[in-house]
Chains A and B, each alone.
Chain A
Amino acid sequence: MAQPFPYTYYSCDCYDSNTTAASAKRASQQPPPADDEDERTFDPRNLRSNYSLYPLEHLLYCEDCQQIRCPRCVIEETLAWFCPACLFEVPSSVIKSDGNRCTRNCYNCPVCTSTMTVNSLDDPDDPSSSGGPYILSCSYCHWSSHEIGIEFEKHTGITSQLSRIANGGRPVPTQKERDKERERRKDADARKRDGRDVLSGSDDSPTTDRERDDTPPSHEDLFSNLAAFYKAQINAQSPTPFSQHDVSFSSPASYARIMNLYSTSSAKKQKREKPSPMRESSSVLEGLTVFDPATDAAAIERIKKEGWSSTLSPAQKLAQVNPNIRFESELRPTASLLCTKRGKRCRSCRHILAKPEAKITSTRYKIKLLALNHIPRLSLRALPIPSTSQPAAAGASSSATTPAFNYNALKSGIPTHFLLHLSNPLFDPIRVTLATSSTTPGKVQSRVTILCPQFEVGANTDVWDDALTSSLSPVKRAPALNADGQIEAGKIWNHGRNWTSVVIEVVPGFLKPIVGFSLGEDGKKEDEELDEDEDVLEIPIFVRIEFEADVNAEDRGLGDSRGAKEGARERREEAFWTVVGVGRVAPM
Chain B
Amino acid sequence: MSAQPATPRAAPADRRTSTIQKRSSLLPRPASIVLDDTVLIAQHAQLTGSFPITAGPNTVLHPHSKISSALAPVVLGEGTIVYERAKVGVGSGAGDGRIESQEGGVGGGRGEGTVLGRYVVVETNAIVEAAEVGEGSVVEVGALVGRGCVVGKFCTITASTVLFPNTRIPDYTVVFAGSEHRIDKTMRDRDEARMLKIGMHRKQLEMFKKLVPNNAAKWRVG
> Do A and B interact with each other, yes or no?
yes
Q: Which residues of A contact B (CB under 8 A)?
A: 111-112, 121-125, 132, 135, 137, 140-144, 146-147, 309
Known: A124-B195, A124-B196. Is A142-B190 also a contact (CB below 8 A)? no
Q: At the interface, yes or no: B212 with Cβ under 8 Å from chain A?
A: no
14 residue pairs A–B, Cβ–Cβ below 8 Å: A111-B182, A112-B176, A121-B190, A121-B192, A121-B193, A123-B192, A132-B192, A140-B158, A141-B182, A142-B156, A142-B174, A142-B182, A147-B185, A309-B181
Which residues of chain A are within 8 angstroms of B185 by Cβ–Cβ distance? 144, 146-147
Determine whether the beta carbon of A124 is less than 8 Å from that of B193: no
Determine whether the beta carbon of A141 is less than 8 Å from that of B174: yes
Determine whether the beta carbon of B184 is less than 8 Å from that of A142: yes
Q: Which residue of B lies closest to A126 (CB)?
A: B192
Which residues of chain A are within 8 angstroms of B158 by Cβ–Cβ distance? 140-141
Q: Mark B171-208, 1 if CB is under 8 A from A, else 0.
A: 00010110011101111011111011001000000000
A295 CB to closest chain B CB (Å) equals: 25
Q: Beyond the given A111-B182, A125-B195, A143-B186, please list 8 additional residue pairs across the A-B interface where CB-CB is below 8 A.
A: A121-B190, A124-B199, A137-B186, A142-B184, A142-B186, A144-B185, A146-B186, A309-B181
Given the complex of chains A and B, what is the CA–CA distance between A143 and B182 in angstroms?
A: 9
Given the complex of chains A and B, what is the CA–CA distance between A328 and B192 in angstroms?
A: 23
Which residues of chain B are within 8 angstroms of A135 by Cβ–Cβ distance? 186
Determine whether the beta carbon of A144 is less than 8 Å from that of B176: no
B27 CB to closest chain A CB (Å) equals: 37
| A/B pair count, beta carbons within 8 Å | 46
Which residues of chain A are within 8 angstroms of B189 by Cβ–Cβ distance? 146
Q: Which residues of B contact A (CB under 8 A)?
A: 156, 158, 174, 176-177, 180-182, 184-187, 189-193, 195-196, 199
Given the complex of chains A and B, what is the CA–CA distance between A137 and B193 in angstroms?
A: 11
Given the complex of chains A and B, what is the CA–CA distance between A135 and B187 in angstroms?
A: 12
Determine whether the beta carbon of A122 is less than 8 Å from that of B174: no
Given the complex of chains A and B, what is the CA–CA distance between A391 and B180 in angstroms?
A: 65
A112 CB to closest chain B CB (Å) equals: 7
Given the complex of chains A and B, what is the CA–CA distance between A309 and B192 in angstroms?
A: 26
Which residues of chain A are within 8 angstroms of B193 by Cβ–Cβ distance? 121
Given the complex of chains A and B, what is the CA–CA distance between A409 and B193 in angstroms?
A: 61
B33 CB to closest chain A CB (Å) equals: 34
Determine whether the beta carbon of B182 is less than 8 Å from that of A122: no
Q: Which of B190, B195, B196, B199 touches A146 (beta carbons < 8 Å)?
A: B190
Given the complex of chains A and B, what is the CA–CA distance between A143 and B188 in angstroms?
A: 12
Q: Which residue of B lies closest to A309 (CB)?
A: B182
B119 CB to closest chain A CB (Å) equals: 15
A222 CB to closest chain B CB (Å) equals: 29
Q: Which residue of B lies closest to A313 (CB)?
A: B180
Determine whether the beta carbon of B192 is less than 8 Å from that of A124: yes
A11 CB to closest chain B CB (Å) equals: 41
Which residues of chain B are within 8 angstroms of A122 by Cβ–Cβ distance? 192, 196
Given the complex of chains A and B, what is the CA–CA distance between A476 and B36 in angstroms?
A: 76
Determine whether the beta carbon of A112 is less than 8 Å from that of B177: yes
Which residues of chain A are within 8 angstroms of B176 by Cβ–Cβ distance? 112, 140-141
Which residues of chain A are within 8 angstroms of B184 by Cβ–Cβ distance? 142
Q: Which residue of A lies closest to B184 (CB)?
A: A142
Given the complex of chains A and B, what is the CA–CA distance between A277 and B184 in angstroms?
A: 54
Given the complex of chains A and B, what is the CA–CA distance between A125 and B196 in angstroms?
A: 10
Known: A124-B192, A124-B196, A124-B199. Is A144-B186 also a contact (CB below 8 A)? yes
Which residues of chain B are within 8 angstroms of A125 by Cβ–Cβ distance? 195
Q: Which residue of A lies closest to B181 (CB)?
A: A309
Given the complex of chains A and B, what is the CA–CA distance between A309 and B156 in angstroms?
A: 18
B166 CB to closest chain A CB (Å) equals: 21
Pairs of residues from A and B, 4 with the lowest C-beta to C-beta distance, nearest first = A142-B184, A144-B186, A146-B186, A142-B174
Given the complex of chains A and B, what is the CA–CA distance between A125 and B194 in angstroms?
A: 12
Given the complex of chains A and B, what is the CA–CA distance between A155 and B86 in angstroms?
A: 37
Given the complex of chains A and B, what is the CA–CA distance between A140 and B174 in angstroms?
A: 9
Known: A112-B176, A309-B182. Is A142-B187 also a contact (CB below 8 A)? yes
B138 CB to closest chain A CB (Å) equals: 10
Q: Which of A112, A123, A147 touches B186 (beta carbons < 8 Å)?
A: A147
Q: Which of A123, A142, A144 touches B195 (beta carbons < 8 Å)?
A: A123
